[in-house]
Chains A and B, each alone.
Chain A
Amino acid sequence: MGRVLLLIELKGGNDGLNTLVPYADPKYRELRGGIGVPRERVVQLDERVGLHEKLLPLMESWKAGDLAILQGVGYPYPNRSHFRSIEIWDTASASSQTLSEGWVAQAFNGTPIAKGIGVDCIVADTNALPSTGPSLRTIVMQDAENFLRQADTIGTSSGTGAGGNPALQHLLAVRHEINAAAAGLRDRLRSAPAPVEAYGQEFLLGRQLDLATRLLTAKVPVVAIKVALGGFDTHANQAPTHERLLSFLATNLATLRKNLIGAGLWKDVVVMTYSEFGRRARQNASAGTDHGTSAPHLVLGGGVKGGLHGIHPSLTDLQDGDLMHTVDFRNVFATLAQGCWGQSCDFGLRQPQRLGFLT
């Protein structure tokens, strides 16, 4: 059934203009006088835009046609607070709306999924909001062995004694979920082979992708896995930090791709990056960038229609100094919900559009 969505949260707000660089636009040089990526350090994708050279490891995927780059992803009335904006993304809400259920969970509301094993989503970082909701069973674990060990000690008694106490009933239900997930995962995870090609260790993302690869190769039937890379909040002296992050991201995504192709699973997985916002068009006085709005995002996978999608936001037509979004992120989510899980969900958009980045 369907495809597994691997979500990669880029925490802190990734600078889109130095990720997918509009190198041919003279306005870019003006806005990014100090920290702009020089033309010779851009891997050109077409006559207007190109990837930061640190993303070179992604070119194999690009050439194979399984890397889609979605341009100008954002939402109206953008919020520039980290915690609020990531909440907007994670719950697919409008800017003025506070929702408590994550978008992945919303996609499954009303259509219970086959209870294959005791878990539907695995979160390897700490933010489980996208899959939080009654329709999905999410397990947060940074380390499989640690999770299994902890689950072993939590107790299993059926607890028939909850008698009319809803709080205790809830606790027992959650405990049962842990037991069920551990039972479903234990043998699969312990027998899952280590990834053929190892991931980097410089950031936690490496360890998380290792876990994700084991889950996928063990064919654990989850609908989504979530990992994260932090450190994108580059207010000052941005270039060295941002380059380290891009380099790590690209190298490890390339490794993931190789491992999954090797395992014959690449067509069953869709990888997507997202971030609470992009950054201001104009750099600040500290050789960094402040919180902005829309940004490009990457989608990879054997079932992905590669290439540039959507329209790059204009560098001249700015709103309060920020890029105007050209694609609403909820359309991206709706496309993924359909393409990965066959779920029709428009996330409150009045005029939802299906985007063409999945085959």
Chain B
Amino acid sequence: MEAAAVFTAGISANLWSALPARAASAMGFDNARHLLSRTSFGVTPGEIRVVESQDFELAVDRLLADPRREAMTPVPAWIGLGPAEMRRRQQAAESERKQGADGKKLEVVRPVQEQGRELRNWWVEEMLVTDQPLVERMTLFWHGHFTSSLMKVRYPASLFRQNALFRREALGNYATLLKAVARDPAMLIYLDGMRSVARQPNENFARELLELFTLGEGHYGEADVKAAARSFTGWSVDRGTGQFTERAGQHDDGEKTFLGKTGRFGGDEVLAILLAHPRTAETVVEKLWREFVSLKPDTGEVRRLAALFRGSGYEIKPLMRALLLSPAFRDPAIRGALIKSPVDLIVGTVHVLGLPVPEKTGLVRMLQGLGQTPFDPPNVKGWAGGESWISTYTLLLRQQFLRRMIEATTVAPMEGGMQMANRPNRRADRREQLPAADGSTLQMMEPPRPVEGRSLRDAGHEARLGPTLAGADGPLLLRTLLPRQPLDGVNANGTAGAIVATALLDTTYQLK
């Protein structure tokens, strides 16, 4: 199919004179869809149209050309609050909250929970409005790699700053990122670095640094974990400002032996040794492969890309370029070989349908139900991803979400747009006064109100197409929405709305 399109588009090499001259060729529809579906959240026919006439290599260069280093969405007002002030406000709210009679707590807005809600909504908003979805994908990738969770950190401003760091270095430099993460207050809280002192080093950060952020299991020993833990002692968080601080008096400046090297190491020396180790680049490349290419990293290719990565001084952009231009990524056989993450599914579907969703709390709740709450990865290993996204529970929940989305396009917006839950605000889940650490119960969504005489029984069989899909014919809609042939038989001669509805509910829609 794309063979026919090759060399037919009117893009000539001299349009791209700044780049190495070569015969430019239009990549065609299916290549464009593949590239975009792996590097953004949801793809519309219009977006594919823009890219399909471009040369693949040039399109990749464009994707990476000028990464946005700051979010477009205005930052929440409270990001400057220090931890001491936050604790004071939280305690004030808690003491007000317990005033209720007969054991029922009063509904008081608790600042940590409220800021956490705003923070999650803020990021989902950014994913939806950004002009550079690849940057958000990478930011999410680094968040899953260098995990920190609000459930433990309980200081949302620090997670906001960590998120800003991930975005700033999204396509920047891994060495820079690693060094900044080791000093990052949210990380110091999450992995107990701030409690790690010479007298009693805490090994939590050191262990994950070796196992997850750099070498991977099997490439170090317990003694290395202990030596690394001692080296980072004294790196802490200022309780007033919430910023990184180095407490020299708490640092163990004795001699350590780490990965065969001996010296009076501090944290930076340990990081330098890790960055000089070939495994570090391989660990990152393997993870990126599973995120962007396929569930099974190709060992030879990983080694080649890791050498390039390390050779460039850990520049992320050339690595991503090489990854997206690798023969494996361009192999038609891997189209549809990755399972959409909950963020792919939810943010992507809202984007493709062009649905206005002013209030993001319902979307975040769906993300939570499907197992990917932003700022709350399940554990230090981050989201396992891949096949683990799909269980009997989440598959049914995904289908339910998609039916709701289809219905939402067929009924009038509720006050303030699509309503996902019966009480789409922070107080929705308080019925059982669930503990903060509990993944609060998912509220099943109330049916939206039908309009235009349409019976709710019919809703869900047909979607009303917004500007993102309007005008596209059946075959085009299918080729846009699905990475491969539908499985459950879609009637390509049906109305456009019916085709979209059945395509979204086809099992292959879960793939990208």
A contact set with B: CB distance below 8 Å: 11-13, 81-84, 86-87, 98, 100, 123, 125-128, 132, 137-140, 142, 146-147, 150-151, 153-155, 157, 159, 161, 164-168, 170-172, 174-175, 177-178, 181, 203-204, 229-233, 235-237, 239-241, 243-244, 276, 286-288
- B434 partner residues in chain A, CB cutoff 8 A: 11-12, 230-231
Contact between B391 and A168, CB atoms less than 8 A apart: no
Query: Given A98-B380, A175-B507: A139 and B439 within 8 A (CB)?
Result: no
Majority-rule SS of B interface residues = loop
Q: List 28 A-B contacts (CB under 8 A).
A: A11-B434, A12-B437, A82-B435, A82-B437, A83-B152, A84-B379, A87-B379, A98-B380, A126-B439, A128-B391, A128-B393, A132-B391, A139-B392, A157-B488, A167-B339, A168-B508, A170-B339, A171-B390, A174-B390, A174-B391, A230-B434, A231-B432, A231-B434, A233-B436, A236-B95, A237-B105, A241-B433, A276-B437
List of 3 A-B pairs having minimum Cβ-Cβ separation, nearest first? A240-B103, A82-B437, A233-B435
Q: How far apart sit A181 and B396, CA to CA, in the bound complex (Å)?
A: 13
Contact between A171 and B510, CB atoms less than 8 A apart: yes
Contact between A171 and B435, CB atoms less than 8 A apart: no
Contact between B507 and A204, CB atoms less than 8 A apart: no
Contact between B435 and A231, CB atoms less than 8 A apart: yes
B395 within 8 A of A: yes
Contact between B333 and A164, CB atoms less than 8 A apart: yes
Contact between B98 and A236, CB atoms less than 8 A apart: yes
Query: Given A138-B391, A150-B399: A167 and B436 within 8 A (CB)?
Result: no
- A164 partner residues in chain B, CB cutoff 8 A: 333
Most buried by A among B105, B393, B403, B485: B393
Q: How far apart sit A203 and B430, CA to CA, in the bound complex (Å)?
A: 11
- B338 partner residues in chain A, CB cutoff 8 A: 167
**Size of B's binding interface in residues, CB under 8 A:** 57
- B104 partner residues in chain A, CB cutoff 8 A: 240
Q: How far apart sit A159 and B507, CA to CA, in the bound complex (Å)?
A: 10
Contact partner, B507, options A132, A172, A237, Cβ 8 Å: A172
Q: How far apart sit A109 and B151, CA to CA, in the bound complex (Å)?
A: 32
Contact with A along B374-394 (1 / 0, CB 8 A): 000011110010110011110
- A153 partner residues in chain B, CB cutoff 8 A: 399, 403, 505
B492 within 8 A of A: no
Which residue on chain A has the smallest CB distance to residue B101? A240
Which residue on chain A has the smallest CB distance to residue B339? A167
B388–chain A nearest beta-carbon distance, Å = 8
Contact partner, B105, options A167, A177, A241, Cβ 8 Å: A241
Contact between B438 and A230, CB atoms less than 8 A apart: yes
Most buried by A among B296, B336, B399, B432: B432
Which residue on chain B has the smallest CB distance to residue A241? B103
Q: How far apart sit A291 and B201, CA to CA, in the bound complex (Å)?
A: 23
Contact between A171 and B105, CB atoms less than 8 A apart: no
B273–chain A nearest beta-carbon distance, Å = 24
- A13 partner residues in chain B, CB cutoff 8 A: 435
B464–chain A nearest beta-carbon distance, Å = 20
20 new A-B contacts, CB < 8 A, other than A170-B387, A240-B104, are A82-B438, A83-B152, A98-B379, A125-B441, A142-B444, A146-B444, A167-B511, A168-B336, A168-B508, A171-B339, A171-B390, A171-B507, A172-B487, A178-B395, A204-B432, A230-B433, A231-B432, A236-B95, A244-B103, A286-B98
Most buried by A among B95, B381, B437: B437
Q: How far apart sit A84 and B377, CA to CA, in the bound complex (Å)?
A: 12
B338–chain A nearest beta-carbon distance, Å = 6
Contact between B395 and A171, CB atoms less than 8 A apart: yes
Q: How far apart sit A172 and B105, CA to CA, in the bound complex (Å)?
A: 45
- A161 partner residues in chain B, CB cutoff 8 A: 485, 487
Q: How far apart sit A98 and B212, CA to CA, in the bound complex (Å)?
A: 12
- A146 partner residues in chain B, CB cutoff 8 A: 444
User: Which residues of chain B from 102 to 122 have a CB within 8 Å of any chain A CB?
Assistant: 102-105
Contact between B392 and A137, CB atoms less than 8 A apart: yes
